[in-house]
A and B are shown apart, each in its own frame.
Chain A
Amino acid sequence: MSNVHPYVGRATPRVDGPLKVSGLATYAAEFFAEDMLYAAAVPATIAKGRIKRIDLSAAKGAPGVVEILTHENRPEIPEDDAPYLNDMVAVPGSPFRPLRNDKVLYSGQAIALVIADSHENARHAASLVTAEFEVETPTVDVADARSTAYEPPVPRDGIPPPPPPRGDAEATFKGSEIRLKHDYRVAPEHHNPMELQATTVVWEGGGALTIHNKTQGVINPKNYICSVFSLDPEKVRVVSPFVGGAFGMALRPHYDLFLAVLAAIKLERSVRLVLTRGQMWTMGWRPDTLQTVALSADADGKLTSVSHHAIQATSQFEDYQEPIVNWSGLIYDCPNVSLKYELAKLDVSTPSDMRAPGATTGVYALEAAMDELAYELKMDPLELRLKNYAEKDGNDDKPFSSKELRAAYEQGAKRFGWSERSPEPRSMKEGKELVGYGVATGCWEAMMQPHSARAALSADGRLEVACGTADIGTGTYTILAQIGADAFGLPIEEVTAKVGDTSLPMAPVEGGSWAAASAGNAVQLACAALKEELLKAARGLDDSPLANADVAHVTFADGKIALTSDPEKSVSYADALKAAGSERLEAKGDFAPDGEFAEKYASYTHSAVFAEVRVDEELGVVRVERIVSAVAAGKILNLATARSQILGGVVMGVGMALHEESVWDKSLGRIMNANLGEYHVPAHADIHDIDVIFVDEEDKANPMGVKGLGEIGIVGAAAAVANAVFHATGKRIRELPITIDKLL
C-alpha cells in the first residue's frame, strides 16, 4: 500500500499514542533492575547558612537502610567547576553540586541521600534525618535586591545581550506628549511537568551503567556524568524514550541524576531516585523579574520611542540569563529604542529556561504597555499593532526570512470576531458578568541546531528512523515517522521512529523549539542518503531495469523503486536489499543550520492572540471564555500535534495570567506553596474554548521550511488575557497573576 497522500502536513495521529493511552510507555522511574535500591533526598529546612551537625543515628537504625550519604562521608567528587560545566545548558558561574560542603544555598537543597531496600523504607528513614544549622538571613525577593542589580559580565552562550541603543529613546520620550511608563511584574513560576524528576541507574556490572533519567536530551546527562565521575563514555548509556513533560526544566542535569549515580557507583548496585512534588521547587524556575516599559507615540499612533528595562532574579552562584527585553526592539518598527537587562542575586536555586524563556516575560510587559498606549490614543489595540508593524528586525537590521504576522492578525481577528468589540472599558456585559476582549502579539526565534539521524530499511520491509533527540510530548516520534513514511512511500505503520537513547545518532538537548526543524531535516537527509544507497544496490542487479536510473528519475513507493516515466520498470526494496547482500541497509544524515542564510536573514515565529474574558465583579473571578491563537510558523508538519503544542502554550499562558505564583516566605526564604494544591496550574474547569489557526507561511531557512512550535503558543497569551481583563473591568493589573484579591 502506498501513501498517495503524504503524511507530512496532515493531522496524523501520534505513533506513540497507543502505548501512552495503554500505560505502556515507560518513563525514567519505570525501568526495573534486579536488587534495585531506592533513594530519598533529605532537603535543607533553611534557605541560607551552613550545616552545623547532621544526626543520622535514628535514620541509620531504621529498617532496610543500606547507606546514608552526606557532605561528610560522600565519595570524593571533583572540586573544580570544569567537570560540572560539561552541560550544554550550563550558564556562567559555578554550577551547583549536591553534598559539596556544609553550605546551604537555597531552601530544599539536598543535604543527605538515604538509600534503602524499598521506597517506603528510604522515605521513612529520610524523615528521621535531622540537622542543626547556622542560619543566615536570606534574600528571596528580587525587589529587595534591586539596588544590587548588575549587567551580566559574561553573556550566556546562545543568549544575545540586548542590542545597543538606536536613536535616542530617552530624549524622544521626554519630548513626547503621548507617552506612558509603567512597571510590570510576573510572579515566579515553576514548570511542574506531571512527571516527577527521576533517575533510575541500572548497575550492569564491570562499571557499566544504563541510566534512565528525565531529560530533554540524553546526551547531556551522559556527558555530565562521564565528566563528573570520570566514567568511560563507552560504558555509559542513557535511555529515556518517554518524558512526562518538561517545558525546559529537564534541560540541565539535576541533583537526582548526580545523587543516583553517586550512590550506584559507591554501592555497586542499581538505584532509583524519584524526587517528591515538593522537591520540584528545588531546581529551575521562571525567574521573578521587575520590568519597566516606557513608550511614546505621535498622535497617529506611530511609536516614537520604546524603552524596556528588566531586573531578573538569579542564584548566588550562577548568572542565569534569558532574552527578556530584546523583543521590544524587533516586534514593532521604532527608530528610538533603549533596552537594558540586569540580574540580581537571591538565595534561591538557579532559574532555568521555562517555555519561551525571556519572551514569555518580556513580551507580556511590552504587550501590556502597547494595550495601555492604545487606550491612551483611543485607538483600536489591533490597529496600533498594525500601524507599527515591523518589516525588518530592527535589532539586527535584517529582513525576516518570512513573516506572515499580518495574516495572523487578520485571520485571528476574523475568527474571533474582534470587530464586535466595543472600544470603551466596562462597556460589554452579559448577565452579571463583565465581558472583555484583549489582543497581544507573540514572537519567538526560529532556531536550529546540528543534528544527526539514521534511516534503515530492513528485509521485512520496515523503515526505522532514529535520532538522539527527545520527545517530551511535542510529537517528535510522529513527525519523524511521517517524514520517513513519505520518503519511502510507506504506510506509517511500517515505520519505527526512535529517539531518547545515546546509542542513536547525536542530537543536542531538545529545547527552544528547534527539534522539529533540526531532527526533521536530519531524518529527511538520512532518508535521501538511504534512497541513494538502495538505488545503487538496485542498479547493481543483473539486467537491472533501473540500470541507468538516477534518484531524480525514480519513485519510491509500494515497496519498490520504479522509473517515474515507466513504472513497469522497477525493483522491489527486498530485491534491492538482497542485491546489497544485507538484511538491513542504513544511511546517515547530518543536518546543520545554514550559517550564510542566518547572516542575511532573521527567522522568527509570530502569533496574534485574542482572548475573551468574563469577570464577575462581586466575586472577582475571571473566566477565560475563549482564546484564538493565530500562528505563523512556517511549514506545519502535523496539524494535530502542532495544534496541541499551541493549545498547551495557551493553557500555560492562562496559568501565568490568572493562577501561577510560587510564593516565598520573605523572612525564612522558603517556598510556602510547593505543592499542586496551592500552586494552581490550570485545571479542566479553567479552560474553555481555544481555537488555533496556522496561517500559510513559506520559509527557506531550512529545506523543509519548518520553524518550530513549542514556545510560540505561550508568548502573548498572558498579555491577551490581562488586556481583556482591563477591557472588561477598567482595572489595569500590572502584576501577574491577576488573582481575585487584585480585582476586588
Chain B
Amino acid sequence: MADTISASGALDAVSVTLTVNGETRSIDIPPTVTLLDLLRERFHLTGAKKGCDQGQCGACTVMVDGRRVNSCLQLAVMKDGAEITTIEGLGTPDSLHPLQAAFVKHDAFQCGYCTPGQICSAAGMIAEGHATTAAEIRELMSGNLCRCGAYTNIVEAIEEVMGAERAPKLEAAE
C-alpha cells in the first residue's frame, strides 16, 4: 500500500463513481471516507444522519444496490459503481414516497433525526419480504433506534404501507 501514500503522508485520492438517486457522480476522495461522510459532507445529502458512526443506531441507513445498509460502516471506495438511494431520492415534500406519507400520517417521529434511516430501513425490510406481522417488523427494524420513542407509530406506518402493497397482489391472486 506504500504507493498510495504521498510524501506528505496523505493518502492519495481515489476516483469513485456512484449513481446517487439516479444521478451518476464521480469524485476523487481519500480511501478513508465513509459512504455516510461522502453523502453528507461532499454531496451535501444530509438526509442520511450520523448518530453513532459505528453501526449501532441505524440513522445512516441508505439503500445500496437495493439493500438497506448502514452507510457509516461502508468505505465509499468499496462502493464504486454502486447504486445508492438516499431518503432524498425516495421522495420529496411535494411527492412523498408511501412510507414517507405514512410516517407523517401516523406521527411516526418526533425530532426527525432517526427518521430517514427508519424509512430507508423500512423500504429495505419490505423488499426483503420476511416480515408479515407486527412482531416481525419490530424484530427486523430493531437496528434503527428512535430515542424519541416513536416505535409504536413507526410500526403502524410500516404496517399500513405493507397492507396497501399486499392488497393489489391479493386481489390479483383471487
- B153–A644 touching, CB < 8 Å: yes
Cα-based distance from A192 to B146 in the complex (angstroms): 10
Partner of B103, one of A21, A648, A681, A687: A21
Chain B residues contacting A648 (CB-CB under 8 Å) are: 110, 148-150
The contact string, 1 if C-beta is below 8 Å from chain A, for chain B 121-153, is 000000000000000011101111111111111
- A20–B109 touching, CB < 8 Å: yes
Cα-based distance from A532 to B41 in the complex (angstroms): 48
Chain A residues contacting B154 (CB-CB under 8 Å) are: 684
Check: A16 CB closer than 8 A to any chain B CB.
yes
Q: How many interface residues does B have (CB within 8 Å)?
A: 65
Question: Which chain A residues numbered 654 to 696 have a C-beta less than 8 Å away from chain B?
Answer: 675-677, 681-685, 687-690
- B9–A62 touching, CB < 8 Å: yes
Closest Cβ of chain A to B31, distance in Å, is 10
Cα-based distance from A17 to B153 in the complex (angstroms): 14
Check: B167 CB closer than 8 A to any chain A CB.
no
Q: How many interface residues does A have (CB within 8 Å)?
A: 68
Check: A119 CB closer than 8 A to any chain B CB.
yes
Check: A25 CB closer than 8 A to any chain B CB.
yes
- B37–A684 touching, CB < 8 Å: no
- B113–A244 touching, CB < 8 Å: yes
- A195–B104 touching, CB < 8 Å: no
Cα-based distance from A16 to B104 in the complex (angstroms): 9
The contact string, 1 if C-beta is below 8 Å from chain B, for chain A 126-147, is 0000000000000000000000
- A684–B151 touching, CB < 8 Å: yes
Closest Cβ of chain B to A662, distance in Å, is 15
Task: Considering the complex, give the chain B residue whose CB is closest to the CB of A12.
Answer: B107
Cα-based distance from A50 to B103 in the complex (angstroms): 50
Partner of A63, one of B10, B88, B107: B10
Partner of B151, one of A64, A472, A687: A687
Chain A residues contacting B11 (CB-CB under 8 Å) are: 63
Task: Considering the complex, give the chain B residue whose CB is closest to the CB of A31.
Answer: B46
Which residue, B53, B113, B145, has most C-beta atoms of chain A within 10 A?
B113
Check: A203 CB closer than 8 A to any chain B CB.
no
- B54–A277 touching, CB < 8 Å: yes
Which residue, A17, A24, A119, has most C-beta atoms of chain B within 10 A?
A17
Cα-based distance from A475 to B150 in the complex (angstroms): 13
Cα-based distance from A23 to B54 in the complex (angstroms): 21
Chain A residues contacting B46 (CB-CB under 8 Å) are: 23, 26-27, 29-30
Chain B residues contacting A29 (CB-CB under 8 Å) are: 46, 50
Chain A residues contacting B50 (CB-CB under 8 Å) are: 29, 196, 274
25 A-B residue pairs with Cβ-Cβ distance under 8 Å, sorted by A, are A17-B107, A18-B93, A20-B115, A21-B91, A21-B96, A21-B119, A22-B90, A23-B47, A24-B92, A27-B113, A29-B50, A30-B46, A119-B37, A194-B145, A243-B111, A245-B148, A472-B111, A641-B110, A644-B107, A644-B110, A649-B149, A676-B145, A677-B54, A683-B143, A688-B152
Q: Name the 4 nearest CB pairs between A and B, nearest first.
A: A23-B47, A651-B149, A244-B113, A473-B111
